[in-house]
Structure 1
Amino acid sequence: MFQSHETAKSLTWHAARKSIDGQMSHPADSPSWKLLDDKWPKFDVYLEPLIDDLKSLWVGIRGVYDAHNGEYFTLRAALMWTINDFPAYGNLSGCVVKGYKACPICGDDTPSHRLKNGHKICYIGHRKWLPINHPYRRQRAAFNGKPEYGIPPEPLTREEVLHMVENGDRVCWKKKSIFFDLEYWKYLPVRHALDVMHIEKNVCDSIIGTLLEIPGKNKDGIAARLDLLNMGVKTDLQPKYGERRTRLPPGPWNLSKAEKREVCNSFYGMKVPEGYSSNIKNLVSLQDSRLLGLKSHDCHTLMQQLLPVAIRSVLEKPTRYAITRLCFYFNAICAKTVDVSKLDKDSNGHKRSAKT
């Protein structure tokens, strides 16, 4: 095997990308990378090989020429984690990702509820991850009619996961992942990562579809309103039945026809630098006030910067703030650098303990 000078040079860039001043900007700063550095120090170059070659690459391929250093070496590589959407995460890890026990962290204690009218399972225990004194924990009507005093569960350790799958736990695990055949896999603190672009597109499609009431994308309908009524929350939004038609009282997210046109006109008139995204103008249908043909990168730019601009004058303040803060969240987790000092702090800036 032969490596060009440029290829060889590019494979060494991680060595100079360690964290600086508390800023994490590269996988080399992660616990998984540091684990392989400490436990198997001879692995100084990591690639993303095909899965069938992983064991061979772990043993090593001799006689690879490094044009940058002018010497031969034994090429070794390790798979540190996979990056995929949530269904693929279930296939790769063996974890159950649908049904009543679909939370990889909560496992058998996943708080789930089947919607009678929507015929889907919803997961309503998310407030337990908020700081212990967060005001949302005490609110009832805005959520499921109950306060939340629980604490988040501790994620399973790698040893616990391996023990469960080897002992046939089929409640939350459907199989033992083939990756455990790799010598180092059971030691990795992070084995699978979710692709933010998939999540971002799903969230963006739902928000745009609901605001503009796009058929097939709208999450607000008679079934959703009836399920809210069955749960005893937002009863003022229950359907109003008439002789000829059923009317849904407007919620804070509903836009008038004029407001929908205003949002679409805002997108239609946006101009962005070349290469920044698709031509947003081509995605807008002014005739029926819709956005059509959104790709993953279009949703990425919408959620990162464009959506807060388009809705700034058409929604009530609480709804507008909620959507804007969600956009800020996606912007933050997609940043090139992450302030490590903030990772263990809650939304009020306090040090987060393992129990809160």
Structure 2
Amino acid sequence: MVDVIDDVMGGVIENDTNCNEGNLDTDGRGVDVGFQKLLEELQFKLYPRCSFSSLDFLAKLVHIKLINKWTDSSFDQLLELLQTAFPEGNRVPPPPPPSHYEAKKTLKKIGLGYKSIHELLQKCPVCNESRWVDENTKGKKVAHKVLRYFPVTPRLQRLYYSRHTTKDMIWHSTGQYKDGTIIHPVDGTSWKKFDMKYPDFSREPRNVRLGLAADGFNTFGNMCNPHSTWPVILTTYNLPPWLCMKESSFMLTLLIPGPKGPGKDLDVFLRPLVDELKQLWSFGVRTKDAAANTFFNMKSMLLWTINDFPARSSLSGWRGQGGPPRTFSEEEIQAQHARPLFRPPCKVDAQRAGIKRDREDFESNWSKKSIFFELEYWSSLELKHNFDLMHVEKNVGESLVGTSLMNDKSKDTSNARADLTKLNIRKNLWLKKNGNKFHKPHPPYSFTKPDRIRFCKFIRNVKLLDGFGSNIGNKVNETNTNIIGLKSHDYHILMQRLLPIGVKGVLGKGVFTPIIELCMFLKQLCSRTLSVKDMKEAKPTIIKILCKLEVIYPPAFFDIIVHLVLHLPDEAISGGPVCMR
């Protein structure tokens, strides 16, 4: 614990001759008074002949509380019991009376806290909306939303304060491949082109490159309750590939509360993060390098965002829906961006604000100009927004499996069959009228009832290695006729491991061959080591695969998500392996 705290707070600052004396405490040790008390607490054992110091014990106990979701009251009772049970004169922290509140105050001195943004702002500066749900209540006022912001700069500095991580932070400058092999974003063309455009930034290997991921989730785990909380997480791409995507390397920067997602107003909540990123890019921050025992000016940049298709619309301002694909000239894009610049950055009553938010025809699908364009380098980035492959894989898998099993996720609907009639194609699949009813002829891409049972039994009997995935067999219903409740990772395993085997014996060769080829394409794309040559060859391959599927499945099958598969090889060449994005 002594080494950890010493690294976290840069305890070796006093050994540097360039130390800023204005930041020193009265003892000239470069450590603030609150933290000095923590260092003193480390010198005392919990009780005589105990292997734990009082601070060690408190840190481990709070960690266990968080993992096991203990209540605050149960934690308070445990501290009181331990204080009574341990030998007299013990130092069960915090000082009596021990409580979770006092424990948090003690650990807060390490400096890992957050800010409640606009906690002193009573009204919105744009629409004059009150911060409170009911500002005239006599009881405790309740805010509409409380944004929690975790500053980025101190946590980036601590990656260099620590002797355990500072050497890993310059791995990207020595681990780059030159032979077309891609194992890290540093091997992608986006990183290389940025280095060529901004040589002053790339010349210092300790400058930090970040990736941003954002998505909504239901904190209550109840899908019947439409609640969406949005965490915004950063990861550091300076680290080697075996570290940059570990959970311990993720940094939660924003926690946007529900019950509704921010939608196109996500930029309002990103404001404190973007302001800090602008500061880190333009001026940097003086940081201690524990390995070299020197100071340097650390700068940082945002390399790209990682998101699913709906979240991409919120981040970029491009809806991506509402019409067929088309090419825009630079003048058209600038014209489309012009009007969103003057829209209010929050949801206000149109009549009260006197501003209409409806798009004109010339605006097409642009709903706003993204706040990321305030970053000086953003417009020059080759790859700004990454599609999350797991979400693409899940949606494509839902369509394939749902259409094969003919469940509620099937794309083979009555309207899809009616489209075939309008297009005058595949007459054998047109709706057949029988009296006052219509029925659908059985298609070659769906299982018959006996085959459906065989496929579901195959999935039910699958046994996966511990930690490899969830028990997919539990997702098969009792009648062995449907598979429900699969998550993103379940579809990841299903598409790459199980579906190629399951469909081979129940569908015709002309149908299962392109399905297997699609699954193998996704498996190749998810490899930790890629080749530029292979990815360039994969682009025409996936086009051929989708053309084969278009001959088999109805046009309704090919929505925007299926189309996104075409762009994945290009993204891999530009950004590196998908496991890093």
Residue 210 of structure 1 pairs with residue 403 of structure 2: yes
> In the alignment, is the contact (CA less than 8 A) between 1:204 and 1:303 conserved in 2?
yes
> In the alignment, is the contact (CA less than 8 A) between 2:210 and 2:304 conserved in 1?
no
> In the alignment, is the contact (CA less than 8 A) between 1:312 and 1:320 conserved in 2?
yes
Match of 1:181 among 359, 374, 378: 374
Deviations for 1:204-236, whole angstroms, at most 9, x for unmatched residues? 111111111112x11112111011111111121
Question: 3-state SS of the aligned residue for 1:281?
Answer: helix
Match of 1:240 among 432, 436, 445: 432
Alignment correspondent of 1:224: 416
For 1:178 and 1:192, how far apart are their aligned partners in 2? 13
Alignment correspondent of 1:262: 454
Question: 3-state SS of the aligned residue for 1:275?
Answer: coil
Structure 2: which amino acid aligns with 1:80?
L
**Cα shift at 1:36:** 3.0
Alignment correspondent of 2:445: 253
> In the alignment, is the contact (CA less than 8 A) between 1:162 and 1:186 conserved in 2?
no
Q: Structure 1 residues 318 and 286 mapped into 2: Cα distance closer, same or farther (>3 Å)?
A: farther
Alignment correspondent of 1:116: none
For 1:241 and 1:164, how far apart are their aligned partners in 2? 51
Question: 3-state SS of the aligned residue for 1:78?
Answer: strand
Q: Structure 1 residues 261 and 181 mapped into 2: Cα distance closer, same or farther (>3 Å)?
A: same
For 1:161 and 1:309, how far apart are their aligned partners in 2? 48
Structure 2: which amino acid aligns with 1:46?
R
Which range moves more in the overlay, 233-242 or 29-38? 29-38
Residue 46 of structure 1 pairs with residue 209 of structure 2: yes
Question: 3-state SS of the aligned residue for 1:327?
Answer: helix
Structure 2: which amino acid aligns with 1:22?
G
For 2:332 and 2:168, how far apart are their aligned partners in 1? 36
> Would you say how many aligned residue pairs link Structure 1 and Structure 2?
295
**Cα shift at 1:347:** 3.9
Identity %: 35
TM-score (norm 1): 0.76
Structure 2: which amino acid aligns with 1:257?
K
Equivalences for residues 13-162 of structure 1 within 5 A:
13-38=171-196, 39-43=198-202, 44=205, 45-48=208-211, 50=253, 51-52=273-274, 53-101=276-324, 103=325, 106-107=326-327
Alignment correspondent of 2:486: 294
**Cα shift at 1:61:** 3.8
TM-score (norm 2): 0.48
Q: Structure 1 residues 65 and 160 mapped into 2: Cα distance closer, same or farther (>3 Å)?
A: farther
For 1:175 and 1:223, how far apart are their aligned partners in 2? 34
**Cα shift at 1:59:** 2.4
Which range moves more in the overlay, 220-229 or 2-11? 2-11
For 1:207 and 1:64, how far apart are their aligned partners in 2? 52
**Cα shift at 1:344:** 3.7
**Cα shift at 1:181:** 1.1
Structure 2: which amino acid aligns with 1:75?
M
Q: Which has the larger radius of gyration?
A: 2
> In the alignment, is the contact (CA less than 8 A) between 1:60 and 1:77 conserved in 2?
no
For 2:514 and 2:383, how far apart are their aligned partners in 1? 30
Structure 1: which amino acid aligns with 2:167?
K
Which range moves more in the overlay, 181-190 or 235-244? 235-244
Question: 3-state SS of the aligned residue for 1:314?
Answer: coil
> In the alignment, is the contact (CA less than 8 A) between 2:394 and 2:492 conserved in 1?
yes
**Cα shift at 1:321:** 0.7
Residue 317 of structure 1 pairs with residue 514 of structure 2: no
**Cα shift at 1:71:** 2.3
For 2:457 and 2:491, how far apart are their aligned partners in 1? 18
**Cα shift at 1:75:** 1.9
> In the alignment, is the contact (CA less than 8 A) between 1:165 and 1:176 conserved in 2?
no
Question: 3-state SS of the aligned residue for 2:166?
Answer: helix
Equivalences for residues 273-288 of structure 1 within 5 A:
273-288=465-480
Deviations for 1:47-70, whole angstroms, at most 9, x for unmatched residues? 345533211221244332222333
> In the alignment, is the contact (CA less than 8 A) between 2:176 and 2:186 conserved in 1?
yes
Of the two structures, which has the highest relative contact order with CA contacts closer than 8 Å and spacing of 6 or more? 1
Q: Structure 1 residues 60 and 271 mapped into 2: Cα distance closer, same or farther (>3 Å)?
A: farther
Alignment correspondent of 2:149: none
**Cα shift at 1:333:** 1.7
Superposed CA RMSD: 2.3
For 1:17 and 1:231, how far apart are their aligned partners in 2? 54
For 2:310 and 2:530, how far apart are their aligned partners in 1? 27
> In the alignment, is the contact (CA less than 8 A) between 2:460 and 2:473 conserved in 1?
yes
Question: 3-state SS of the aligned residue for 2:165?
Answer: helix
Alignment correspondent of 1:120: none
**Cα shift at 1:318:** 1.0
Q: Structure 1 residues 347 and 171 mapped into 2: Cα distance closer, same or farther (>3 Å)?
A: closer
**Cα shift at 1:20:** 4.7
Alignment correspondent of 2:223: none
Alignment correspondent of 1:170: 363
For 1:28 and 1:88, how far apart are their aligned partners in 2? 25
**Cα shift at 1:12:** 2.2
> In the alignment, is the contact (CA less than 8 A) between 2:472 and 2:486 conserved in 1?
no
Deviations for 1:242-290, whole angstroms, at most 9, x for unmatched residues? 1364321111112111100110111111122211111122122241511
Higher helix share: 2
Which range moves more in the overlay, 273-282 or 171-180? 171-180
Question: 3-state SS of the aligned residue for 2:498?
Answer: helix
Structure 2: which amino acid aligns with 1:318?
G
Structure 2: which amino acid aligns with 1:47?
L
